[in-house]
Amino acid sequence: MVYRYWCGECGFKTPWSAESEGLRRHVEHYAGRHPGTPPGGQVESRGRGRGGARACLQLAAVALVLLAVLATCRR
């Protein structure tokens, strides 16, 4: 998994990176740009690969094939 941290005070966001690296950059940003303010904002996460969309498409294709087979068998 990779993570991206968004600042809750401004538009800053860290690049996608390992959780520890992203958190370190997030804390450094707050210390430099918003001293005295506890770090806040949002955290995004995603898998390293972009295979999720492909897997979903493959699943949809299999479902359509199964529906076609079932439709022909019912005749």
Between CA 43 and CA 22 the distance in angstroms is 9
Q: So where are the chain's domains?
A: 2-73
> Taking Cα atoms as reference points, which of 53, 43, 58 lies closest to residue 1?
43
Its pTM stands at: 0.62
The Cα-based distances of 36 to 27, 31, 32, 44 in angstroms read 11, 7, 10, 24
Per-residue model confidence as pLDDT tens digits over 32-70: 999 999 999 999 999 865 556 677 788 888 888 888 888
Per-residue model confidence as pLDDT tens digits over 22-32: 999 999 999 99
Residues in the chain: 75
Q: How does strand 2-7 pair with strand 41-46?
A: antiparallel
